[in-house]
Structure 1
């Protein structure tokens, strides 16, 4: 049984956010339930790409400020950090509004630069490396953003901890997993479980639907959630946006691995009644339903027939070559002054779609998948 607190919050007005966060955390027993007075606390935000808060690509700075103030009241030393795949966190913190929060509230910005082996002796993945800097903190508070995700379906609390893998080292795990999304999801769950954030507070005031996690459409959801169990809070978000939990790879993996609460019936709701939230017609990212029906060793050879795939809008493409640099299997190239994707060897990680700085790559569902899926 896990507690999940859920409250309404319609706007990123700081006063409204502060009131909502106070109500949210109080319903779980107060911030003192999760951190000790005077602790060093890392706020693990989502900085996918250094874009303005209005884009809804990153954790909104109003959420970061509100949580930081709650911790400051408890005499905690607060740090803000993440590790984007491209560039440094400190380099992108101003664009996302995090540096301004740090200056205003008296927090410190943290870059993740060095790696250390995750203490994961009981897990499947013995060689996961995460940022050594996270060892400097007494507690980690996880601050994800509700967004669609081309590979996993949604990026929420569990997925957000992947940002503790330093920079481009994330690409190794995409390459190692290949087409096997269940394998990748299990790795994400083990990273989350190994790091063990004391609290996950999910920014769902305005999320992202459609072609997420960077170029989807902002969608007002009007909700903030909190739980010490990110699997449970992710499950609640899935239900809120009418996403079948069995079609979210991280939830499937967590259930199989026995990590977190994987049944909505086993969640005790705090804050406001779950039934008071009505989110309809949330636009999902295309995912082939056959991926959930066919074992990966069979689905892999059939991926070009049935799997969703990245496609390039050449009118939007500026040939900046970010997709070429970020592609784990190196199957993207420039041919005749156009981006070319070798779909036969593409592993469908959608790193190209996720990191394209111009929104020129989207996800297309194969027509056979629509017919037979």
Structure 2
């Protein structure tokens, strides 16, 4: 059985050190994961320079509460990520905690050194599909990795939680390459996300669900007051319980099919113990995720042209909101975006990785159904 812990937390102004302590108690406490003197790496969501109120990033109050607890335990703490825009330091400065981290001796690490997965000797054995996977070598210098994801909707994967947050352990320049290689197939992309999570083998995952994001996530959605923190040693189990809370079917999220394919525990809710309360106590209504109509991989290949024209979703530009900053063009791994007077996405080249939507600073790009996809979804819902 896998254990997931949950606790009510309505505000970042609460004593989050106390909240984290109570949250981790059913898991054995922080000491079960980090011994005194251990070198601990914190991996929050540092997607891009945004304010805490945007709900795009792991909240600085949660980060600092954990830093204080680890420091009190005598741990040597570092923090970092591979942001899609800017550096980890720039994002941390925007969050307003750079000075306090520096004062406490917390090192801010930029992921720059990609190394083979074979160097990650603590990873469990499993059947790998992506043997040329490289991850941030800086992680190898630490005894423990603590993953600090933010609960958000996501254009490509539906939702981004603990498993998806570890994609940030891929060094920046390689992210676009992986998006290009597997981005057209969400099942394949989910598979690489699970392989990354298994390889990094973070010992603890603490989800920031005090204020999350739904709608046009992960950077331009609607901040939602959700009111909880969640933790587990198993990222898939944590993700699975969040899906229970938001009342969605796991079939909407390819991450679980990939985890099941790899034999990862935590996919089935009846094999998960939720400590801290029942699902009904934390239920989230009307959580909006980008709708997806997924054909299986065989149908996708066999009816590729039909799928592209009639069923597959489109990334749509709001030209009135667009500021012509060209960030979408810069972040498109498929080179499907061209800008003359206006932004244009070439459907024949677009792989639906949603990088343009993710990094648009003004939320001018959204993932939308074509009418046939809407019809198919209604038919599917009627049959279920």
Q: Where on the TM-score scale, by shorter chain, does this alignment land: which range?
A: over 0.9
SS of the counterpart of 2:295? helix
Structure 1 residue 371 corresponds to structure 2 residue 375: yes
Count, aligned residues: 370
Structure 1 residue 346 corresponds to structure 2 residue 372: no
CA distance in structure 1 between the aligned counterparts of 2:31 and 2:343, rounded to whole angstroms: 52
SS of the counterpart of 1:163? helix
Q: Quick check: 2:49–2:86 contact (8 Å CA) kept in 1?
A: no
Question: Which of residues 328, 334, 338 is equivalent to 1:333?
Answer: 338
Deviation per CA, 1:21-55, whole angstroms, max 9, x where unpaired?
Answer: 11101121111111222111000010111100000
CA distance in structure 2 between the aligned counterparts of 1:346 and 1:101, rounded to whole angstroms: 42
Q: Assess, with a 3 A threshold, how the Cα gap between structure 1 residues 224 and 372 changes in structure 2: closer, same or farther.
A: same
What's the counterpart of residue 291 of structure 2? 286
What's the counterpart of residue 320 of structure 1? 325
Give the TM-score taking structure 1 as reference length: 0.95
SS of the counterpart of 1:140? strand
SS of the counterpart of 1:291? coil
Shift, 1:60, TM fit: 0.4
What's the counterpart of residue 357 of structure 1? 361
Deviation per CA, 1:144-191, whole angstroms, max 9, x where unpaired?
Answer: 000000000000000000001111310101110142110011001000
SS of the counterpart of 1:283? coil
What's the counterpart of residue 45 of structure 1? 44
Shift, 1:327, TM fit: 0.5
CA distance in structure 1 between the aligned counterparts of 2:199 and 2:289, rounded to whole angstroms: 29
CA distance in structure 1 between the aligned counterparts of 2:234 and 2:298, rounded to whole angstroms: 30
Q: Quick check: 1:47–1:96 contact (8 Å CA) kept in 2?
A: no
Unaligned runs of 5+ in 1: none
Deviation per CA, 1:272-313, whole angstroms, max 9, x where unpaired?
Answer: 33332121111111222x436974323543123211121111
What's the counterpart of residue 9 of structure 2? 9
SS of the counterpart of 1:94? helix
Give the TM-score taking structure 2 as reference length: 0.93
Structure 1 residue 154 corresponds to structure 2 residue 159: yes
Structure 1 residue 132 corresponds to structure 2 residue 163: no
SS of the counterpart of 1:214? coil
Structure 1 residue 74 corresponds to structure 2 residue 73: yes
CA distance in structure 1 between the aligned counterparts of 2:331 and 2:24, rounded to whole angstroms: 38
SS of the counterpart of 2:353? coil
Unaligned runs of 5+ in 2: 378-384
What's the counterpart of residue 222 of structure 2? 217
CA distance in structure 2 between the aligned counterparts of 1:316 and 1:169, rounded to whole angstroms: 30
CA distance in structure 2 between the aligned counterparts of 1:102 and 1:228, rounded to whole angstroms: 25
RMSD: 1.6
Shift, 1:143, TM fit: 0.2
CA distance in structure 1 between the aligned counterparts of 2:174 and 2:199, rounded to whole angstroms: 18
Q: Quick check: 2:4–2:231 contact (8 Å CA) kept in 1?
A: yes
CA distance in structure 2 between the aligned counterparts of 1:144 and 1:61, rounded to whole angstroms: 12
What's the counterpart of residue 245 of structure 1? 250
What's the counterpart of residue 87 of structure 2? 88
CA distance in structure 2 between the aligned counterparts of 1:229 and 1:92, rounded to whole angstroms: 27
Deviation per CA, 1:210-246, whole angstroms, max 9, x where unpaired?
Answer: 0000000000111110000000000001111112112
More deviation, 297-306/38-47: 297-306
What's the counterpart of residue 233 of structure 2? 228
CA distance in structure 2 between the aligned counterparts of 1:215 and 1:294, rounded to whole angstroms: 33
